[in-house]
């Protein structure tokens, strides 16, 4: 699974990204993940299966969905803040079917 995390500047999602990588490794999940700012997602989104937005850019959901053509969702604020890797990966998997 290839996930692109999108937030305001790509910094806060980097912390979540590390937690997701660790969780995936511990659970035998093949994961390719990166974090970018909202202004950069179009440059790299073609290489990813799913885009997940940080809650701080949730207002951009429809724009990102249309601009990327990829399954896209906003990470729930509680899962984002707590770094709940299991829930975030479940969200990504649900988008992929």
97 vs 80: CA distance, rounded Å: 22
Active-site annotation holder among 5, 7, 38, 73: 7
Active site residue 45: no
Q: Which amino acids are annotated catalytic?
A: 7
């Amino acid at each position: 699974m290839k996930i692109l995390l999108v937030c305001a500047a790509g910094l806060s999602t980097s912390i979540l990204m590390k937690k997701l990588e660790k969780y995936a490794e511990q659970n035998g999940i093949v994961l390719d993940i990166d974090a970018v700012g909202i202004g950069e997602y179009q440059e790299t989104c073609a290489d990813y299966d799913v885009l997940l937005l940080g809650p701080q850019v949730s207002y951009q959901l429809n724009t990102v969905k249309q601009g990327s053509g990829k399954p896209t969702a906003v990470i729930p604020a509680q899962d984002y803040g707590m770094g709940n890797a299991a829930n975030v990966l479940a969200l990504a998997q649900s988008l992929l079917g």
